[in-house]
Amino acid sequence: MDTLGPEEARRRLAALAGGTTPDAALALFDPLPPVAVEDLLGRWRGTGVPTGHPFDGLLEVLGWYGKRMVTPDVVHPLVFRGAGGRLVAITPTWLPLRAALRLAPVVPRALAGPVFALVRPLVTTSRPQARLREVTYRGVPSGAMVYDRLPVVDAFRRVDDETVLGVMDMRWQPQPYVFALRRERDASG
């Protein structure tokens, strides 16, 4: 399969921003070139790609900022805006992800943010919660984030030097959650 160049990849990713299907998102993901683990290091700003997944828009309502990858073994998979706008990493192990998948369609989003703001200090951590490794996903070896205590892998492909497309593969959820990460060059990780 031919890989997409950066200009075409950016154009196709922008076209998905208003909403798409899981198949269309994966049709963009699959021909993207792999990304090396070392190229994932840094601080990344995240945005969901709406595909009809229960998490669509939920992370943003909760104040999701993105991910911080300091070294291959020191990775913070979920970084949120905390009090005063300060960035904080949270422990995904303490979040009821399975319950969130079931409840996301029925819980009002306006309620989710304030409730999470109350819980966030209890799940904030300075300890890494994931590692970066090369993983073969959908037939292509590429950099991926392997969560330490959850059956979750975020597989990444390169859109351009500053952007990657991610697919969160969760054992208990057949549909992947799709998101984009944009590097913050002025951040030290």
Which tens digit of pLDDT belongs to each residue from 123-155? 889 999 999 999 999 999 999 999 999 999 999
Residue owning tokens 């593969």:
169
Q: Residue 61 in contact with residue 113, Cβ under 8 Å?
A: yes
Amino acid at 162: E
Those residues with Cβ within 8 angstroms of residue 5's Cβ, 6 or more apart along the chain or in another chain:
none
Q: What residues contact residue 6 under an 8 Å CB cut-off, 6+ apart?
A: 159, 160, 161
| Digit-coded pLDDT (tens) for 62-117 | 889 999 999 999 999 999 988 788 999 999 886 665 566 566 666 666 777 777 77
Q: What is 6-184's CATH number?
A: 2.40.128.580
**pLDDT greater at residue 58 or residue 142:** 142
Inform me whether the pLDDT recorded for 15 exceeds 90. Answer: yes
Average pLDDT, stretch 166-170? Answer: 97
